[in-house]
Amino acid sequence: MSAAVSSSASSHNQWVLASNNKGKLSELQRLFAEANLGISIVPQGQLDIEDAVEDGLSFVENAIIKARHASRISGLPAIADDSGLCVPVLGNAPGIYSARYAGEHGNDTMNNAKLIADLQPIREQQPDAPIKGMFVCVLALVRHADDPLPIIAQGLWQGEILASLQGDGGFGYDPLFWLPELQATAASLSAAEKNSISHRGQAIHKLLAQLPL
């Protein structure tokens, strides 16, 4: 990281978390607390900051858009998460549209039902072939709204997509995301287990590695 970014990041002990998604907030706040940064992470909702318009065409673009939006309004450094599920046989859909795949933002029930329906013809053609998928998380940290050098970190979590829901935990597509090595879905893991291996956990560790000691 450049000296400019280092000095700015260390001059503030409060960052804005550019998200109003309760599931993401819970995971990110827990992971940052475990990191003992000495930095207070404030959800943008506590500062009456509404969600940004996510009109980028990639996870990276949308993460930066959200971070700049929160930083511009708050005047503080901001960190944003843009994440979703990519299924290669669907052309990497739902991708950046994961939260609104079925048309209504944040409706997990509808989104999961649409994913199951969209994959059904493929399962019928290849009933014994597992359908691969991966969760993607991109984190973007900006020291100010016009920061020309955002810190970017990406995490990928590989798995398979089930034909029916399993598990009561997590959120989003977790009940359909099967981990063969654990013989469990993401929704069946404890919060600690999920954070230790998830796309979001990976991205946070990579982000922290880029911060000044």
> In this structure, how many other beta carbons lie within 10 angstroms of the beta carbon of residue 179?
18
pLDDT for 12 equals 62
Average pLDDT over residues 20-33: 81
State the catalytic residue, choosing from 48, 51, 82, 168. 82
pLDDT for 13 equals 85
Query: What residue segments make up the domains of the chain, in order of their start?
Result: 3-209
pLDDT for 36 equals 81
Higher pLDDT, 107 or 27: 107
**Has domain 3-209 been given CATH number 3.90.950.10?**
yes
Please name every residue paired with 81 in a beta bridge, in sequence order, or none if there are none.
139
CB 188 within 8 A of CB 167: yes
Angle at alpha carbon of residue 80, lines to 74 and 81, rounded to 5°: 155
pLDDT for 30 equals 82
168 in catalytic set: no
57 CB burial (10 A radius; 0-12, 13-18, 19+): exposed
Q: Which two tokens stand for residue 127?
A: 């009933």
Instruction: Classify strands 177-179 and 78-87 as parallel, antiparallel or unpaired.
Output: unpaired
Q: What's the whole-number average pLDDT of the chain?
A: 91
pLDDT-derived band at 41, boundaries 50, 70, 90:
confident
The secondary structure of 134-182 as a DSSP string is EEEEEEEEESSTT-SS-EEEEEEEEEEE-SS---SSSSTTGGGEEETTT
Q: Which two tokens stand for residue 27?
A: 């995971």
pLDDT-derived band at 5, boundaries 50, 70, 90:
very low
Counting residues of the chain whose pLDDT is more than 70, the rounded percentage is 94
Residue 57 has phi, psi (to 5 degrees) of -110, 10
pLDDT at 11 over 60: no
pLDDT-derived band at 28, boundaries 50, 70, 90:
confident
pLDDT-derived band at 187, boundaries 50, 70, 90:
very high
Among all chains, which residue has been given the structure tokens 């013989």? 183
pLDDT at 8 over 60: no
pLDDT digits (tens, 9 = 90+) for 58-112: 999 999 999 999 999 999 999 999 999 999 999 999 999 999 999 998 899 999 9
pLDDT for 23 equals 80
